[in-house]
Structure 1
Amino acid sequence: MKIKIHDYPKIQLMKELIDEFLPPDRYEVVEDDGVRDDECLHINLQGSDDRDEIKREIFRDLSALTGKRPDWGILTGVRPVKLAGELYHEMGSMDLVRARLQKEYFLTAKKAELITSMYEYQEKVCGEPRKNEIGIYIGIPFCPTRCLYCSFASNQVPDEEVARYLPALLREIRFCGEKMKEQNLLPESVYIGGGTPTTLNERQLDELLSACEASFDPGSLREFTVEAGRPDTITGEKLDVLKQHNVNRISINPQSMKQETLDRIGRSHSPEDIVRAFRMAKERDFDVINADLITGLPGEQPEDFRKTLETVLDLGANNITVHTLAVKKASRLIGIDRSYHYRVADIVAEMLADSRRMLEDAGFLPYYLYRQKHMAGYFENTGYCRDDLANLYNVRIMDEHQSILALGAGGISKLYYPSMNKLVRVPNVTNYTQYIDRIDEMCRRKDEGFFIEHE
């Protein structure tokens, strides 16, 4: 199919919406005005440069043509809950916001209700950050294996390379700690992610967490998270180190409890490893144990996902994030099947419906949500919590109304200016060897780009 969007130069923005109706190999956006009407779908709003109006016209035309009506309407962005909050501050009524989301953005009533109620819940549980509070992210870019769907900076390296990375990271932590003290900036949350932070051994974890305690005022922390992630990297000794340093939130990420699936996607652990990791974590009484699950994994059916979720609930997770598989450009999966996310859309829809029902029945509430490109069915990732134990860092990073200091290879710091409602990004290099070699430059970037004016 040929599609012509008249008098609008930012075609890529529109292609993201078109992709929700048609796989890229089934259409072509053309620039030739000479294409006959019977050969082309023309989107022509007579010179209008209203992006949303153009998207509405695309939505109407392609919905009529394909019979599809995506639940998220014309929204293609990552942060729909943030939009709900912005509309509420503009309109002052959630009823008006819900009506507008359905009328102007074409969301279904269920999606409009989901994101508005989620915003209200975030406001109740998390509140607003104080003026001098920031979030801190620390990246450990190493994993035992690379998963089939992974697009993150995740390296499989010998122990010697991990040992080479740590001193550079500690240098950046200590540098930023000094700058925070100079500017009276306090950490509201610390999130150590990756990669898999528990690829570090017990001594290295202790060294890392000791540097965090010395550099960032622990008295102001509302939340301290470490992604334990891969169950095969978790030991009782490592969990003891986390407890000794007052880490109160960890993630154990099964993705699936089906051995065939774990083998297929490149995970090096077993369902028994997952059970063992949960039991060790429960024995040490962490406040929050999060589990990440993925809908739409190759070869899985809805009953496989239900069994995984039932098991994780029985193991005692009180935070569960349900991800929709995305076929990312940097993943191995895209080289195997570029159209995978279109083919499994109906299966994923059933899995997501099951997850909502099962988690609500178990006393969980959805507390944060984000979307990504090329997700199966173009649905969403949703975090659920029990007992109001929402992950503060996740809420803040999606809301984008707090400065986030990101350390380590691949970290992208975001300096927030409230008066302009604006974020300025300060990136580190992604390649971990370059990060080691250029650590002085990374500190200088922070000094010149992040530790400047905080309103």
Structure 2
Amino acid sequence: MTDNNNSKMPIIMIGHSFKYETEATLKLFFNTARFSFTSDIAEASGSDYVLTEAAEDGTVTVRVCLEGNQEEKTVKLPPDAEKKDFEYTICRLLFGLLVNRTGITPPWGLLTGIRPVKKVIDLIRQGKSEEDIYSQLGERYLAAPKKLKLAYDTAVNQLPILDRIDSSAVSLYVSIPFCPTRCSYCSFVSHSMDSAIKLMPEYISALCRELEIVGRIVKDTDTKIDTIYFGGGTPTSVSAEELRTIMEAVERNFDLDKVREYSVEAGRPDTITEEKLRVIKALGAGRISVNPQTLNDEVLKVIGRKHSGEDAVKAFELARKVGFDNINTDLIAGLPTESADSFRNTLDRMIELDPESITVHTLTIKRSASLFEKGSANSSNPAAEMVDYSIPTLMSHGYLPYYMYRQKNTVDNLENVGYAKKGFESYYNIFIMDETQTILGAGCAASTKLVYPDGKISRIHNYKFPYEYIRSFDKLMEKKEEVTECLKKIRSVQPR
């Protein structure tokens, strides 16, 4: 099959409704392809299609036809088989057939969720040994041993922090969804400064109002703020005075005395100035992130960045000069036109700078990113070689994996991993992945995640675009009633 988005591959589903699971398995092999789902057996024709069938007598059949060559497998399930057994069997048969037909073996096997570490943590808490965990997850999900080892190491480093989590406290996320320009790989909701500049005063005013409203709810429910995270976009896209206004609103409306971590995603080096860094430090943030993604100037041009690799180094050194002793840097494996040697050079140089943490993302090509339009032309690159180099290199220099997540449409079905020196793990990053602490979002495109005492999770999504956020602000604030109710319930069962 040609892996592009100009045509749709027919997927015939008979006797079941496992569309999400089937598509997730297909995406492991065709990460930028599109599919059409149908129950019409007549669609099982042509050179490319997939047929999945679950019969009433327990027979499961999967057929894969690629470029006119087809292969089929059938399994008979026992009479007491449950719905989840049919789902798993369809996906496992499909996975095996696609490995045979494409020659691709996804390293995470059938593990398609974004939080593989949670499965490992659950097994550790059940008393399973490391060997038992590898055996159980390897057998069921067909994941490569080196990936299971990475997930296990991440879980081991994460557990001591999770054991100290305060579930009665909450974290605060503040969204500043603006960037100087939009990078070609970016799928986040962000807006260029050129288009947003006229909305900036109104946006900042609305954001400060929301921080006041959320702060009042937190105070009225006697809730403690545990961590604060400024994200985007690029928070340092705004001016030093605008950043001061927002951070002062946080300081004014929340008790920061017991905050364990306060992070600002300074992000792009071309937005970082000494004045902004001094504002960030003066107003309480102790952790920042400087994110070059690569130090290769030619690759930076290709992805739409307006800064050089040397600019990134200077921004990092400037942050040290201002006094930051907890700096993260983000890199991306698999950027278009970047070679494995170039990635190695970037990683080695970043290690020389000696940040407290380094996060290695793998390129993800989502539909909202301009790279998606180029299809497989951008998905064939040495990302796996880059990631394989990063793991032992970082660990040998004292950077341990402490959080991990996976995404759809990631090149080579790889992962995103945060590495940190001991004691510099980001609480917020762990909490957002583990989903055991409520996170209150403020600002355009921010998401509030309410974690109830019984484990129920509810999400409230703010409007994606600044003009919507400003125009419909009062309507949006009506949703805060659910926040109040959730925090009251948390407080009632977990008094401090």
TM-score range for the pair, normalised by the shorter chain length: over 0.9
Say whether the 8 Å CA contact 1:6–1:44 is kept in structure 2.
no
Q: Which residue of 2 aligns with 1:343?
A: 380
Correspondences of 1:329-368 after superposition (within 5 Å): 329-335=367-373, 337-340=374-377, 342-344=379-381, 347-368=382-403
SS of the residue aligned with 1:424? Answer: strand
How far apart are 1:434 and its partner, in Å?
Answer: 1.0
How far apart are 1:243 and its partner, in Å?
Answer: 1.2
- TM-score (norm: length of structure 1): 0.93
| Alpha carbons of structure 1 residues 13 and 211: separation in structure 2 relative to 1, 3 Å | same
How far apart are 1:386 and its partner, in Å?
Answer: 1.3
**Aligned partner of 1:279: which letter?**
E
| Pair 1:144-2:180 in alignment | yes
Distance 1:97 1:58 in 2: 24
| Alpha carbons of structure 1 residues 282 and 143: separation in structure 2 relative to 1, 3 Å | same
**Aligned partner of 1:338: which letter?**
G
- Deviating more after overlay: 201-210 vs 232-241: 201-210
Q: Which residue of 1 aligns with 2:20?
A: 12
* CA-to-aligned-CA distance 1:156-178 (integer Å, 9 cap, x gap): 13533222210100000011111
Distance 1:438 1:25 in 2: 36
Correspondences of 1:54-453 after superposition (within 5 Å): 54-90=90-126, 92-156=128-192, 157-335=195-373, 337-340=374-377, 342-344=379-381, 347-419=382-454, 421-449=455-483, 451-452=485-486, 453=489
**Aligned partner of 1:339: which letter?**
S
Distance 2:254 2:430 in 1: 21
**Any gaps of 5 or more consecutive residues in structure 1?**
none
How far apart are 1:222 and its partner, in Å?
Answer: 0.6
Distance 2:36 2:227 in 1: 46
Aligned residues: 451
How far apart are 1:46 and its partner, in Å?
Answer: 5.1
Q: Which residue of 1 aligns with 2:5?
A: none
Distance 2:484 2:376 in 1: 40
| Alpha carbons of structure 1 residues 70 and 204: separation in structure 2 relative to 1, 3 Å | same
| Alpha carbons of structure 1 residues 432 and 26: separation in structure 2 relative to 1, 3 Å | closer
* CA-to-aligned-CA distance 1:176-206 (integer Å, 9 cap, x gap): 1111011111111000000011112111111
Say whether the 8 Å CA contact 2:294–2:343 is kept in structure 1.
yes
How far apart are 1:90 and its partner, in Å?
Answer: 4.4
| Alpha carbons of structure 1 residues 411 and 74: separation in structure 2 relative to 1, 3 Å | same
* CA-to-aligned-CA distance 1:349-394 (integer Å, 9 cap, x gap): 1111111122122211111111111111010111111133111101
* CA-to-aligned-CA distance 1:103-127 (integer Å, 9 cap, x gap): 1111122212221221121112453
SS of the residue aligned with 1:175? Answer: helix
SS of the residue aligned with 1:339? Answer: helix
How far apart are 1:225 and its partner, in Å?
Answer: 0.2
| Alpha carbons of structure 1 residues 207 and 43: separation in structure 2 relative to 1, 3 Å | farther
Say whether the 8 Å CA contact 1:187–1:220 is kept in structure 2.
yes
- TM-score (norm: length of structure 2): 0.85
Say whether the 8 Å CA contact 1:3–1:41 is kept in structure 2.
no
Say whether the 8 Å CA contact 1:140–1:193 is kept in structure 2.
yes
- Deviating more after overlay: 369-378 vs 34-43: 34-43
Distance 1:194 1:318 in 2: 21
**Aligned partner of 1:116: which letter?**
Y
| Alpha carbons of structure 1 residues 31 and 341: separation in structure 2 relative to 1, 3 Å | farther
Distance 2:37 2:73 in 1: 11
Q: Give 1 or 2 for the bigger CA radius of gyration.
A: 2
Say whether the 8 Å CA contact 1:415–1:450 is kept in structure 2.
no
Provide the aligned C-alpha RMSD in A: 2.3
SS of the residue aligned with 2:327? Answer: strand
**Aligned partner of 1:369: which letter?**
M
Say whether the 8 Å CA contact 1:364–1:385 is kept in structure 2.
yes
Distance 1:24 1:286 in 2: 40
Say whether the 8 Å CA contact 2:448–2:459 is kept in structure 1.
yes
- Deviating more after overlay: 26-35 vs 13-22: 26-35
Question: What is the percentage of aligned positions where both structures have the same residue?
Answer: 36
Distance 2:240 2:333 in 1: 33
How far apart are 1:294 and its partner, in Å?
Answer: 0.7
SS of the residue aligned with 2:460? Answer: strand
Say whether the 8 Å CA contact 2:31–2:410 is kept in structure 1.
no
| Alpha carbons of structure 1 residues 259 and 389: separation in structure 2 relative to 1, 3 Å | same
Distance 2:432 2:89 in 1: 29
Say whether the 8 Å CA contact 1:325–1:375 is kept in structure 2.
yes
**Aligned partner of 1:384: which letter?**
Y
* CA-to-aligned-CA distance 1:92-146 (integer Å, 9 cap, x gap): 5444332211111111222122212211211124534213211111100110000
**Any gaps of 5 or more consecutive residues in structure 2?**
2-9, 46-62
Distance 1:159 1:4 in 2: 48
Distance 1:331 1:268 in 2: 18
